[in-house]
Amino acid sequence: MRDLLAKGENLPTLPAAVFQLHKVLDNEMAGPAQVAAVIERDPALTGRLLRAANSAAFNRGDRIGSVAAAVGRLGVDQIRAICLVLAVVKAFPNRSGSLDHSLFWLHSAAVGMMTEHLWGRFGSTPGVSGADLYTAGLLHDVGLLILEQYFQRDFHEARHEQMESGRRLWQCEEEHLGMDHGAVGGLLLGRWTLPAYISETVTNHHHPDQAEPEYREISRIVNAAEVICTEQGAALLDEGGADATSEEVLAELGCPPEETAAILDQVPTMVERAREFLN
- The binding site for Fe ion (CB under 5 A) comprises 141, 226, 239-240
Where b means 16+ CB within 10 Å and e means fewer, 195-222 reads bebbbbbbbbbbbbeebeeebbbbbbbb
- Choose between 116 and 226: whose C-beta lies nearer to Fe ion: 226
How far apart are CB 238 and Fe ion at their closest, in Å? 10
How far apart are CB 205 and Fe ion at their closest, in Å? 6
What backbone phi and psi angles, to 5 degrees, belong to 29? Answer: -85, -10
Q: How many CB atoms lie within 10 A of CB 154?
A: 17
- Choose between 68 and 253: whose C-beta lies nearer to Fe ion: 253
- Choose between 170 and 197: whose C-beta lies nearer to Fe ion: 170
Tell me the C-alpha distance between 165 and 188, whole Å. Answer: 29
How far apart are CB 140 and Fe ion at their closest, in Å? 6
Tell me the C-alpha distance between 54 and 152, whole Å. Answer: 36
- Helices 257-264 and 101-122: angle between axes, nearest 10 degrees: 150
- Choose between 67 and 228: whose C-beta lies nearer to Fe ion: 228
How far apart are CB 206 and Fe ion at their closest, in Å? 6
Q: Output the 3-class SS for 48-89.
A: HHHHHHCCCCCCCCCCCCCHHHHHHHHCHHHHHHHHHHHHHH
- Choose between 12 and 240: whose C-beta lies nearer to Fe ion: 240
Distance from chain centroid for Cα 207: 16
What is the residue type of 187?
L
- Choose between 12 and 182: whose C-beta lies nearer to Fe ion: 182
How far apart are CB 186 and Fe ion at their closest, in Å? 11
Q: Are 125 and 217 in contact (CB under 8 A)?
A: yes
- Choose between 112 and 240: whose C-beta lies nearer to Fe ion: 240
How far apart are CB 171 and Fe ion at their closest, in Å? 12
Based on DSSP, count helices (H) and strands (E) in the chain, helices before strands: 17, 0
How far apart are CB 101 and Fe ion at their closest, in Å? 14
Give the CA dihedral 132, 152, 226, 81, nearest 10 degrees. Answer: 20
